[in-house]
Amino acid sequence: MNRKELLQKLNQIKLWRKHGRRAPHKPLLVLLALSRIARGEDRLARYERDIKSPLTDLLKRFGPPRKKIHPESPFSRLPKDGLWEIPGRESLSVTQSGEISQKDLRQRAVTGGFPKPIYELFLSDSGLVQQVVQALLYEHFPDSFHDDIRAELGFPAEFLVRDSLGLPYGLEVRSTPARKRDPNFRHAVLCAYEHCCAVCGFDLRLEDELLGLEAAHIKWHSAGGPSKVPNGLALCSIHHKALDRGALGLAPIAGGLKVRLSAKVYGESDATRWFWDCHNTPLREPISSEFKPDAEFVEWHTCEVFRAPPRNSPSRDAGFS
């Protein structure tokens, strides 16, 4: 196994894809396994003791909103991609869908990890670990997630080094060119919303420089969302991150869209009231109807990102004194 062969395998990971739904389970498992290498832990990890809980937490925080979380799925399926090994798999009970039975995972101390040649390649090349971490984050998650995932898994800050277009330096995981950010996207979106946040109206400047105002993708770039204004919103950095994490969502109203706050958002500080004040309020209109958010992208965000249900308006002031 050499670097080129490994990168090809990573490029060819089979992800479950249907109607644009998110399935970052395998990338998150690979990132978790890479974090174990960075910490000097054993090649093989026990599913019940070492994988199940941290992978579940990663899927809850950074995966799509689902009623059930299935960390056993990528653990069982990644061997088909040639990137994972489960010793003694042939003696384990496997379901019709190809997953190891929950009973065996609980009772038989099942272990898994990178095959030895891949593990040794990562051990011998710390730069390769950094390169793969950057590429997986870029390919499967919006930028607003990257630092949080990096910190959660204990990777150092220097793992996320980018060029002027937002691409990780040395990005070579894909055998075909990665989809680059459109450098004109931010300018076009901010102009369409007259350089202020479409949720709260934030427009702070330092002389002629905008502070903390960003162009957000409604359907993420990493999920195939286009860098076009109808898929963009001008948002302050707080509301951008809240939109990406599903704390905020969008819903149609007559002639436009309104902002929704997830019922799973809570707190007791003034910042919480600031979020409450946005709930059920109209989203700022762009300067032209041609720039209005496309319903297709809004629907994708509602299904794949927003942490339903939305809050109920009648209890708006509950919990505040």
pLDDT at 37: 95
End-to-end CA distance of the chain: 62
In this predicted structure, which of 75-89, 191-205, 210-224, 305-319 has the lowest mean pLDDT? Answer: 305-319
Tell me, letter by letter, the H, E, C secondary structure of 58-79: HHHHHCCCCCCCCCHHHHHHHH
DSSP per position, 185-251: HHHHHHHHTTTS-TTT----EETTEE-SEEEEESS-GGGT--SSGGGEEEEEHHHHHHHHHTSEEEE
pLDDT at 305: 97
Q: Is the pLDDT of residue 178 over 60?
A: no
Residue that wins the pLDDT comparison between 123 and 318? 123
Name the phi and psi angles at 233, rounded to 5.
-140, 140
pLDDT at 161: 65
pLDDT in tens, 60-89: 999 999 999 999 999 999 999 999 999 999
Q: Is the pLDDT of residue 185 over 60?
A: yes
pLDDT class of 288 with cuts at 50, 70, 90: very high
Apex CA 40: angle with CA 79 and CA 151, to 5°? 85
pLDDT at 313: 63
pLDDT at 279: 94
Q: Helix or strand or coil: residue 168?
A: strand
DSSP per position, 153-164: HT--GGG--B-T
Q: Is the pLDDT of residue 133 over 80?
A: yes
Residue that wins the pLDDT comparison between 19 and 108? 108
pLDDT at 65: 94
pLDDT above 70 covers what percent of the chain? 91
Q: Is the peptide bond before 309 cis (omega within 30 degrees of 0)?
A: yes
Burial of 183: CB neighbours in 10 Å, binned 0-12, 13-18, 19+: exposed
Q: Is the pLDDT of residue 213 over 90?
A: yes
pLDDT at 16: 76
What mean pLDDT do residues 170-198 have?
76
* Mean confidence (pLDDT) of the chain: 89
Q: Is the pLDDT of residue 176 over 50?
A: no
User: What secondary structure letter does DSSP report for 18?
Assistant: S
pLDDT at 164: 46
pLDDT at 218: 98
Contact 29, 149 (CB under 8 A): no
pLDDT at 96: 82
What mean pLDDT do residues 126-155 have?
92
pLDDT in tens, 18-66: 777 899 999 999 999 999 999 999 999 999 999 999 999 999 999 999 9
